[in-house]
Structure 1
Amino acid sequence: MARAAQEAGYQVTLIGRAPTGAPGAPGAPGPTPGGGPRLAVRRVPVAGILGTHRARRPRPCLRWPLAYRSAEAYDHRTALRAAGRSLLTTRAAELALVHRPLPLLAAARTGYALAWFGHGLRAVWVRARAAQHRAAVHRRRHPGTRLDDLTASLTRLLMGRRAWRRLDPGLLDEEIAYGPVLDAVRPHLIHALGHRALGVAIRAALRAEATGHRVEVVWDAPPRTPGENRRATIAAETHERRFAREADGVVTVGDRLAAELRDRHGLSTVPAVARNTPPLAERPDGPGTAPAPGVRARCHLGPDVPLLVHTGPVTADRGPATVVEALPKLYDLHAAFVVPDPSAADVGALRARAAQLGVHARLHVLPYVPVEEIPSFLASADIGVLPVHQLPHHQPVLASRYFEYAHARLPVVVSDVRAMAAATLELGNGEVFRAGDTADFVRAVGAVLTNPRRYRKAYERVDILRQWSWQTESAPLLDLYARLLGPRT
């Protein structure tokens, strides 16, 4: 989106969260990816003081009455206990090495024994309080009990659209971090990605307007994903409802989702739709293209070895387990998972399951490649898979990976979630299987491998790739900018 706006003649500043522990002053400009005089990047550290306050200072309760009242007290007491143990160990060495008359040695050893006894009593007490503190902190970070759910519901009932302040104060940490940067940049338009950025953008626009500077706000609304718990879900819902109608324009990633947003928030117009699609490029394996090492070469596989590819994180709701469970039944088939972090815990669990099934040699984990290389990188595979589960946020839109597979001219095997199943059956570029059904997944993969040319030809029969290209999809977004800002000088 930033590149598209830059090419359309806008001065663009990207503002985002700095990596944890990154050096530099808040809002300091970072390196500009891709270069260009009209594109700047600012990485902003977010301290997270308000968001972590509940976990760092758990309140007294009947379940954990001995828990330390703050993280500082917990750290101090556990460190003090460790230091005392070290000093007593050193004292034991001293008594063994230093010569003393027998009466003095007896007194010293008696005092040493009493000191160890006192240390043991204190250690038991500290361990008990520390264990209760850790349990209380875990409860604060993962409030999933019925009492927590009831408290969150009552907070929404009593505070209405302001409940997010109580339920997710981390949103105010982002206001503290990003607000001054937006005030300094003084933009004419803020493109707020997600509901968390929306509140920051609306407040910055109000402050700017009070000084006579008009700021338009575009809310980029992705599909709503379920929160980790009811507290997080209610916080997101109330925050979104508080600011959604104040945005000057709304953009999202699917027609059905746009209609849902209009009905949910009573928007005056249907949001614009700009799907996250790759730019249209030459055929990855076409004449005149330089051969680049693709996913097959990275897996060290020959051209005759069947290979399916799965891109993106391997969280449970994306269905990677279905792929691994199917490998013993698909014999020579190899599976490549292209993931953002090969060392992630979910990836490790997937490797462990593959080892249990005896198919670890046919499971390959690869890191991400640059965005512009994705279609050519994937093109050497035989199938692109999207085995996502039947969850509400998977139903209304086509996943970005679906478009990436299409631009790589890959046949697809997708689960029977609404949008992807309908697109696949209409285009004929792959097979649909029942979500979570390993046997049906094996059937679908076998059907594609039997006649892959049939499915690849689907991309040649219609001009679907031009329709699913960023050149086409970015046009409504730029039109929205133009309507809000007027003619550019």
Structure 2
Amino acid sequence: MTIPKDMADPAAPRIAMIVWNTFDSDARVQKEIATLNRAGYVVHVFCRRATPSGPTTEHRGPGLVVERFPRATGRDTLGAAGFVAAPTRRSRAGQILHMTRQLVMQQQMVRAMVAIRPRVVHAHDLNTLIPALQAARRAGVPLIYDAHEFNMDRIDQNNWLRPAFRRLEGYALRHAARVIVPSPGIARALARFYGVQRPDVLGNWPMLDTTRKPSAQDLRARLGIGAERVVGLYQGGLQPHRGLHHLVAAAAGVPGLDLVLMGDGRLRDALAAQITALGTSARIHLMPPEPLDQLLALTMTADFGVHPLEASCLNHAYASPNKLFEYLHAGLPVIMTDLPEARRVLNAAPAGNPAILVPPGDQTALRDALQMLTNTPKRRAVLAHRAKAAGQMYCWQMQEDTLTRLYQDVCGG
């Protein structure tokens, strides 16, 4: 692979970073890349194409090259399975065929990663480990494993594949030069489960931007909500096990509230049907996701944020969700399920807890919390003040040294 001279310093150390998504909506990965670029590294991101017509290579400034897969092979060895699509239920035979096609695409990625002669291979999450381990071995360079989840107890994990995933992740944890996770809970769980050294922690914290202003085209203007109405916001994937059906049902019992569900996912149609059946279409709104670079400005125009994540697995118990910290940076009071990691983060906030914590699965308590924030402006103001203080504490700038020191250790200075 040839990099144009005006695109990258040929002497700069190169990182092969692999993700199993389209990269553009992955806030964690983008923040890490920005930090590494400032530290003098050129990052090549190896990711997936959303559609067959999408570009395969993008040069985004002197420090970032985006490589998308699958690539044309002269014959249809991958089919539609190579591209990102809405999740579908497959039979076991269908899953095996799908995974075989994915492995073919991964080999394309391996060859491309080795070709850039990286100083390190950085794998984001379990589903990138097979090509990342291969590329690191063939290139003779260290591997950094960035585990975004506690994969051995995830509600969406295929049970029949879990033993294979466990062996794969255990091998990676023992052979990686360093391991990164988003929360202390996941670090402790991985260390205990696999008997390895505790990983480094890099939280899902946004960049602090004290100059950010609320979007002029706010949620009320976009959705036709009256200025006098209180707006609650859920932003993120419309996926199972996030308590969204409970949230819609609870919001239906709070007449003074307009609830916005901003995102996309498998539950969109089911949630739309539930909203219609409840007769709440005028005040419970579905809207598409916002681009990352505009998200927080729009988030700031809500009155509070909510995340009713279900206590359905240990991965949720240890979760450190992006949206929680986005709400804090937007200065929003929060309604959050009372889960161990979220409770630890919120109770440690410098000006006091900015959230109302509700018991997992308790729809009545969720409705009562929505009612309180809807009907009590003074309570919202107190929690908003605490949220702004928490945002200044939980910011990416507080973590950049951890990432750069880790890379200096792995790359030898």
TM-score normalized with structure 2 length: 0.80
Residues 310 and 386 in structure 1, CA contact (< 8 A), matched pair in contact too: yes
Q: Distance in 2 between matches of 1:373 and 1:37?
A: 23
Cα shift at 1:455 = 0.9
Q: Which residue of 2 aligns with 1:97?
A: none
Aligned positions of 1:186-197 closer than 5 A: 186-197=117-128
Aligned positions of 1:426-445 closer than 5 A: 426=348, 427-445=352-370
Amino acid at match of 1:322: H
Residues 258 and 271 in structure 1, CA contact (< 8 A), matched pair in contact too: yes
Amino acid at match of 1:387: P
Q: Kindly tell me: are residues 45 and 471 of structure 1, through their superposed partners in 2, closer, same or farther at Cα, counting changes over 3 Å?
A: same
Say if 2:405 is the partner of 1:479. yes
Cα shift at 1:323 = 1.5
Q: Kindly tell me: are residues 48 and 273 of structure 1, through their superposed partners in 2, closer, same or farther at Cα, counting changes over 3 Å?
A: farther
Cα shift at 1:356 = 0.6
Instruction: Give structure 2 stretches of 5+ with no counterpart.
Output: 1-31, 82-89
Q: Deviations over 1:193-229 (max 9, x none)?
A: 01222232222222122xxxxx121100111234453
Q: Which residue of 2 aligns with 1:412?
A: 334
Residues 19 and 45 in structure 1, CA contact (< 8 A), matched pair in contact too: no
Q: Which residue of 2 aligns with 1:295?
A: 219
Q: Distance in 2 between matches of 1:186 and 1:180?
A: 11
Cα shift at 1:236 = 1.9
Residues 331 and 391 in structure 2, CA contact (< 8 A), matched pair in contact too: no
Residues 51 and 170 in structure 1, CA contact (< 8 A), matched pair in contact too: no
Q: Which residue of 2 aligns with 1:113?
A: none
RMSD: 2.6
Say if 2:110 is the partner of 1:179. yes
Q: Kindly tell me: are residues 481 and 139 of structure 1, through their superposed partners in 2, closer, same or farther at Cα, counting changes over 3 Å?
A: closer
Q: Distance in 2 between matches of 1:367 and 1:218?
A: 34
Aligned positions of 1:99-138 closer than 5 A: 138=91
Q: Distance in 2 between matches of 1:472 and 1:466?
A: 9
Q: Which residue of 1 aligns with 2:311?
A: 390
Cα shift at 1:248 = 0.7
Say if 2:256 is the partner of 1:332. yes
Q: Deviations over 1:61-114 (max 9, x none)?
A: xxxxxxxxxxxxxxxxxxxxxxxxxxxxxxxxxxxxxxxxxxxxxxxxxxxxxx
Say if 2:135 is the partner of 1:204. yes
Say if 2:369 is the partner of 1:447. no
Q: Kindly tell me: are residues 294 and 4 of structure 1, through their superposed partners in 2, closer, same or farther at Cα, counting changes over 3 Å?
A: farther
**Identity between Structure 1 and Structure 2 (%):** 25
Amino acid at match of 1:44: F
Q: Which residue of 2 aligns with 1:317?
A: 241
Comparing 166-175 and 384-393, the one that deviates more: 166-175
Aligned positions of 1:82-161 closer than 5 A: 138-141=91-94
Residues 181 and 202 in structure 2, CA contact (< 8 A), matched pair in contact too: yes
Q: Secondary structure at the match of 2:305?
A: strand
Q: Distance in 1 between matches of 2:206 and 2:45?
A: 20
Q: Which residue of 2 aligns with 1:73?
A: none
Q: Which residue of 2 aligns with 1:9?
A: 40
Amino acid at match of 2:236: G
Q: Distance in 2 between matches of 1:167 and 1:369?
A: 30
Q: Which residue of 1 aligns with 2:207?
A: 279
Say if 2:168 is the partner of 1:239. yes
- The answer to which structure has the higher helix fraction is 1
Aligned positions of 1:46-65 closer than 5 A: none
Residues 22 and 45 in structure 1, CA contact (< 8 A), matched pair in contact too: no
Q: Kindly tell me: are residues 385 and 454 of structure 1, through their superposed partners in 2, closer, same or farther at Cα, counting changes over 3 Å?
A: same
Q: Which residue of 2 aligns with 1:358?
A: 279
Residues 245 and 266 in structure 1, CA contact (< 8 A), matched pair in contact too: no
Q: Secondary structure at the match of 1:318?
A: coil
Q: Secondary structure at the match of 2:91?
A: helix
Q: Distance in 2 between matches of 1:50 and 1:359?
A: 41
Q: Kindly tell me: are residues 483 and 310 of structure 1, through their superposed partners in 2, closer, same or farther at Cα, counting changes over 3 Å?
A: same
Q: Which residue of 1 aligns with 2:87?
A: none
Q: Distance in 1 between matches of 2:102 and 2:170?
A: 14
Task: Work out which structure has the larger RCO, using CA pairs closer than 8 Å and 6 or more positions apart in sequence.
Answer: 2
Q: Distance in 1 between matches of 2:54 and 2:299?
A: 36
Q: Kindly tell me: are residues 237 and 443 of structure 1, through their superposed partners in 2, closer, same or farther at Cα, counting changes over 3 Å?
A: same
Residues 273 and 477 in structure 1, CA contact (< 8 A), matched pair in contact too: no
Q: Deviations over 1:161-216 (max 9, x none)?
A: xxxxx99656633432211101111110111001222232222222122xxxxx12
Residues 174 and 200 in structure 1, CA contact (< 8 A), matched pair in contact too: no
Q: Which residue of 1 aligns with 2:158?
A: 229
Instruction: Give structure 1 stretches of 5+ with no counterpart.
Output: 53-136, 144-165, 210-214
Residues 308 and 333 in structure 1, CA contact (< 8 A), matched pair in contact too: yes
Q: Which residue of 2 aligns with 1:369?
A: 290
Q: Kindly tell me: are residues 351 and 227 of structure 1, through their superposed partners in 2, closer, same or farther at Cα, counting changes over 3 Å?
A: closer
Residues 171 and 196 in structure 1, CA contact (< 8 A), matched pair in contact too: no
Amino acid at match of 1:253: P
Cα shift at 1:318 = 0.6
Q: Kindly tell me: are residues 169 and 244 of structure 1, through their superposed partners in 2, closer, same or farther at Cα, counting changes over 3 Å?
A: farther
Q: Which residue of 2 aligns with 1:470?
A: 396
Q: Distance in 2 between matches of 1:231 and 1:291?
A: 46
Comparing 346-355 and 196-205, the one that deviates more: 196-205
Cα shift at 1:345 = 4.5
Residues 214 and 301 in structure 2, CA contact (< 8 A), matched pair in contact too: no
Q: Kindly tell me: are residues 422 and 244 of structure 1, through their superposed partners in 2, closer, same or farther at Cα, counting changes over 3 Å?
A: closer
Q: Which has the larger radius of gyration?
A: 1
Q: Secondary structure at the match of 2:209?
A: coil
Report how many residues are paired.
360
Q: Deviations over 1:439-466 (max 9, x none)?
A: 1111112222312112112135x5x323
Q: Distance in 2 between matches of 1:169 and 1:234?
A: 18
Cα shift at 1:51 = 12
Q: Secondary structure at the match of 1:356?
A: helix
Residues 262 and 289 in structure 2, CA contact (< 8 A), matched pair in contact too: yes
TM-score normalized with structure 1 length: 0.68
Aligned positions of 1:32-47 closer than 5 A: 32=59, 35-45=60-70
Q: Secondary structure at the match of 1:360?
A: coil
Q: Distance in 1 between matches of 2:299 and 2:211?
A: 12
Q: Secondary structure at the match of 1:385?
A: strand
Q: Deviations over 1:130-170 (max 9, x none)?
A: xxxxxxx8352379xxxxxxxxxxxxxxxxxxxxxx99656
